[in-house]
Amino acid sequence: MGWERYDTAPAVEAMNDLYRHELRLGMNVFQPSVKLVLKVRVRARLRVEQESLDPFELNRRIEDKLGALYELAHRRLSPSRAPLPRRLPTRRVH
C-alpha cells in the first residue's frame, strides 16, 4: 500500500475487502510465491476457480480498488516531499 496512512474505518474495510477477494485470487491462482515440495491433490476446486477467472479483468478490478483505496489515505507532506519554490528566470547577458 506504499507509505500512505490508512487509519479510518472505511479505509480498513476497503483494504480488507481487497485482500479477501481480488488480491487473494490473484496471488493464489496466478502468482504462486513458493516452490512446491510436495503436491497432494485433495479437490479440483482451484482448477475450476482458475478456469472461471480472467486474469486481465481481475487485474483491472485490483487496480480500481487500489485507486479507490488510495483516495482514502491520509497524506502528510514531509519536508523532503514538499514542493520546491519556483525559480525566477535568469537574465542572459550578451
Q: Is 2 left (phi over 0), alpha (psi -120 to 50) or beta?
A: left
Does 41 map to a domain?
yes
Does 88 map to a domain?
no
Predicted local confidence at residue 23, as pLDDT: 93
- Average pLDDT value over all residues in the chain: 82
Does 4 map to a domain?
no
Does 79 map to a domain?
no
Distance CA 66, CA 69 (A): 5
pTM above 0.75, yes or no: no
Burial class (CB in 10 A: 0-12, 13-18, 19+), 18: buried
Predicted local confidence at residue 30, as pLDDT: 85
Does 90 map to a domain?
no
The number of domains in the chain is 1
Does 55 map to a domain?
yes
Residue 29, phi then psi, degrees to nearest 5: -95, -40
Predicted local confidence at residue 77, as pLDDT: 56
What would the pLDDT profile of 38-81 be if each residue is shown by its tens digit?
A: 888 777 777 888 899 999 999 999 999 999 999 898 766 555 55
Q: Quote the domain boundaries for residue 50.
A: 9-71
